[in-house]
Amino acid sequence: MNDSYNAARRTLLAGSALLAGSAFAIGAQAAPQRNSQPQRSTPMNSNTFVTKDGTTLYYKDWGAGPVVTFSHGWPLNADAWDGQLHFLARNGFRVIAHDRRGHGRSSQPSNGNDMDTYADDLAQLIEALDVKNIAMVGHSTGGGEVARYIGRHGTKRVSRAVLIGSVPPVMLKSAANPEGLPLSVFDGIRDGVAGDRSQFYKDLAVPFYGANRPGSKVSQGQLDQFWLWSMQSGQKNAYECVKAFSETDFTEDLKKIDVPTLFMHGEDDQIVPIHDSAKKAVRLVKNAQAIFYPGAPHGLTATLQDRINADLLAFLRG
């Protein structure tokens, strides 16, 4: 009995060793194949980057080709650009979009919720990736980020700029800007963020996409998506960002832009009225172009996605 048991045990152990050895050999052969792939061979990957002050920024880096960076609006994140990112990646571009500090998947630091820091964060990311001849695209607050980046860091790495539904030159009403929006509007936004921000964002989504206009075809999914992205921002970060996008004066930044520039803006923008933004800003940038979209809302990158993509592609290839 013992002889039979020992023989069976030896057979079982030998078989187990053979199986383990085979698995190890298969794994050893598979590992080089997996690791031998060059980093840029994957068309889509996601990464994080740590700034000099220890803030972790999430960013997407899709595709290969000429580089286009994207800066999102408040209080959203890089996902708001997916319709443009995927389109351009399929059309021969490398697209990079980050979540601004305090937004989306980036960390939520207590400090640095101002336009200078936003621009410097972007500059650090661009330098870390060592990308050059980039086209910079910004929507809403992101357009201000692009303008401030150029104002602070120049255009040595920049080939083109596109500002879509953007806040420059300055949103706040003042003696120097009588057409601007009164401070009470932005105080109301801050109250909404500090209070029942979940309902506030649900309500804000409606004029953002023009869903309150007759004949609107905005889906419930788009409205829900806006709420989801907004709730991913830090409350303190979103609150302090209101001052950044409403009170920062980008006039001198715009005057420093010396690359081909395109302004794209909806004529029925209820969030950043066109008369006090793009129609003024385009006159401050030498040889800038503008496309104004009749009846289009602030969130035109979603509601007019195909047309925006076509116009953007034509400018980038021009």
Active site (catalytic) residues:
140, 269, 298
Name the token pair of 280: 């003024």
| Phi-psi sector, 54: left (phi>0), alpha (psi -120 to 50), beta | left
- Residue 299 makes CB contacts below 8 A (sequence gap 6+) with 165, 208, 209, 210, 222, 226
Q: How far apart are CA 98 and CA 151, in angstroms?
A: 20
* Helix ranges (DSSP H) in the chain: 2-35, 82-90, 115-129, 141-153, 183-194, 197-208, 220-231, 235-247, 251-255, 278-281, 300-303, 305-317
Residues forming a β-bridge with 45: 61
Q: To 10 degrees, the CA torsion angle through 305, 274, 252, 67?
A: 0
Cβ atoms of 100 and 55 within 8 Å: the answer is no
